[in-house]
Chain A
Amino acid sequence: MSWWQRLFGSRSSSEWKPLLLRLRTTRFRQLLRNYGKLLWLLDDAAEKQAGDYVLDRQYVIALAAKLLDLTDAILLDLNAMTERGHLALYDRRDQLGGEIDQLLDPGRASTTMSPDGTGAVGAGTSVPPSSVDREALSRVIADARPLYRGAGLVVCRGLAVGPVFNLDRERDLARLPAQAILVASRLEPPDDASPHLRRAAAVLIETGKSSGPTASLVRESRIPTIVELPGVAQQLGSGTQVTVDADENTIYPGRLQALVDYYRAERVGSDEEPEYRLLRELRRTVFPLTSATERQSAPGAAGCRTVHDLVYLAQHLAADVVVALLSAAPVNAGAATEIDGGAAGRVRLVDLGGALDLTAADAAAPSIAALRSTPLRALLAGFVASSGPAEHPIAAPDLDASLLAAARKDQACILVRGSGATALIDAQLIDDPEANHVYCQFWSSDGAGDGSAARVPAWSEPLARHKFAIAEVAGGATAWIDGRSATETSALLQELGSMCARLVRPAASGRSGAAAEEKGDAGERRSPAGAGAG
């Protein structure tokens, strides 16, 4: 062997060992935690973009550095798991890093900055500051009874006054009068990106996101917008006069003239500050998930246009390794044990430390009662909850166990194989919220149609409602959540368990059941009579 082979020689032996599974799952978990941190940073950046925050250039620079560091860590872990199988990804990372460096270069021509100098901000306004009685203003604000204060999520700042146009009642966005305040419970396509929106003085929505087509549009046009306002479509009928102060995330009934005057006097232009622009540009390089639509073994570094693409791919490839190892676990003493998982069917479990407690009575036919792994127990409980005692699992015919797991007392990595779709779940569950996480990757087994692709929303929506961070590609989705209490995390795992149950027993839920799922109520209990949709 040459010197470098001796030093970096291939470590993979053909012999399957529990140690290998322990090493790979532990490293996978580390990779996932970094992936989760990155997702959180992206979400956080989206929230900061909304404009509610006081932030500075330093924040954007620090954000970029953190994102790239996390990417490095993820790539390193991937290569450690695959024996340097993806070194090419580093080159792609370097290229993206170069683009980001250029972006953040202070040498770039910076656009208009607000006046600096020794005086107070506010010079050069149309209404002389002294004519705005601040005392009166604060009294007006103190006396006013806002309809909403701090309840929603600010997507774009600013002040607007005008009559409400309630889309739920009026039904047709084209009829939105100019300078009216658009109120709706939600904006469905094509309304969500309609040019009609630009006429609005402000936009108030009951459910909505701080990113997406609507958000981009209103920010471009500088239209004050607040989303996630419970009951706003009920409360504000067409014609009602309101004052929307999106700077303060507050909505007042009627017209607050003092506030309007103040804004004319004090708001120096509504141009977006360069810091916010910089953040937006950074996010554009990093954030969108544009990657390949099919799950392939090597879509290649070239297919990654953004940083998110790159780490998504890395996480995907790492999952492959774990799936392969789990699938190859032989059943014998020292490797995997078969457990009767009740409604979940047979569970093949590799105990990596503290997951199983086999008393003599149990040893021959271990059951869930012997399980000490809290995350695994929570997941299995979800299976039981979603079916009923009478159900029997119909495992895919060519596989002998529907659940393959590697677990410790507080950690579990579980592969759920159904016909047509598969899920990989990794979780850590202990008493300390900061240490907990749940990860789930779901994909359809075959690229062909037959409705399997349609199942993706059935997974994403309920998980999104539970505040998972979701990344969707055609044919699959990845979800991540962390930082929840033990009770919450356990409940989330149970929820996942119910969803997995449908994977394993597609016949029980039936085709019509699948259609009902798409309505997004997949999380709730269904009656075991199953097909009873409608």
Chain B
Amino acid sequence: MSEDRLQVLVLDDEPIVGKRTKPALEKYGLEVEVFVDPAAALRRLDEKHFDVVVTDVRMQQTDGLAVLERVCATGQATKVIIMTGFATMDLAQQALSKGAFEFLAKPFKAADLRAAIERAAVSLGRPVPR
């Protein structure tokens, strides 16, 4: 059933990110929606429940941390994974302390993202894709 599949939202203002991650995730049974515009992504988040939100931390207009806070504020069971341009301790700590589930340093392999999403699924008590 469609509801069983993990719903994932990917947000990054650089199109290459969505372009690469979408196929990698769909092949393994996840339903993915990709956005480059943070405002549009936030609107979509109001409409639909996502299990996992993967967002870049520093975008031109909206801070990824703001997206994180927004998601956490809704109180839904949604895990947020932060992508950072490079691993920075301060930023990662901020993200973690604001409730991010994990952070992933770019450049990363699609397989790494899948693994992180699997961990998020486990923590949500959802069946692991594949």
Chain A contact residues, CB within 8 Å of chain B: 48, 52-59, 62, 113-118, 120-122, 134-135, 137-139, 141-142, 150, 247-249, 259, 262-263, 266-268, 273, 275
CB contacts under 8 Å to A, within B77-91, are 85-86
Do the beta carbons of B107 and A57 come within 8 Å of each other?
no
Q: How far is the CB of A454 from chain B (nearest CB, A)?
A: 40
A48-B107, A141-B130, A266-B23 known; A56 vs B18 contact (CB < 8 Å): no
A120-B33, A121-B18, A247-B23 known; A56 vs B28 contact (CB < 8 Å): no
Do the beta carbons of B107 and A248 come within 8 Å of each other?
no
Do the beta carbons of B16 and A267 come within 8 Å of each other?
no
Do the beta carbons of B106 and A55 come within 8 Å of each other?
yes
Q: Which residue of B lies closest to A275 (CB)?
A: B16
Do the beta carbons of B24 and A247 come within 8 Å of each other?
yes
A135 and B23 CA atoms in complex are apart in Å by 13
A114-B15, A142-B29 known; A120 vs B109 contact (CB < 8 Å): no
A120-B34, A138-B27 known; A53 vs B14 contact (CB < 8 Å): no
* B26: Cβ under 8 A from any A Cβ: yes
Do the beta carbons of A59 and B106 come within 8 Å of each other?
yes
* B118: Cβ under 8 A from any A Cβ: no
Q: How far is the CB of A124 from chain B (nearest CB, A)?
A: 13
Do the beta carbons of A53 and B27 come within 8 Å of each other?
no
* B5: Cβ under 8 A from any A Cβ: yes
Q: Which residue of B lies closest to A60 (CB)?
A: B107
Known contacts A56-B17, A139-B29; 16 additional CB pairs below 8 A are A55-B106, A55-B107, A59-B106, A114-B15, A116-B37, A117-B36, A117-B37, A118-B40, A122-B22, A134-B26, A141-B27, A150-B111, A247-B23, A248-B110, A263-B23, A266-B26
For chain B, the count of residues having a C-beta within 8 Å of the partner chain is 37
Main secondary structure of the interface of B (DSSP, over half): mixed
Do the beta carbons of A141 and B14 come within 8 Å of each other?
no
A263: chain B residues at CB < 8 Å are 23
Do the beta carbons of B29 and A138 come within 8 Å of each other?
yes
Partner of B16, one of A52, A54, A150, A249: A54
Q: Which of A121, A273, A275 has the most CB of B within 10 A?
A: A121
Q: Which residue of B lies closest to A269 (CB)?
A: B19
Partner of B19, one of A141, A259, A273: A273
A57: chain B residues at CB < 8 Å are 14
A118: chain B residues at CB < 8 Å are 35-37, 40
Q: Which residue of B lies closest to A276 (CB)?
A: B16
Do the beta carbons of A248 and B27 come within 8 Å of each other?
yes
Q: Which residue of A lies closest to B29 (CB)?
A: A138
Partner of B130, one of A58, A116, A138, A249: A138
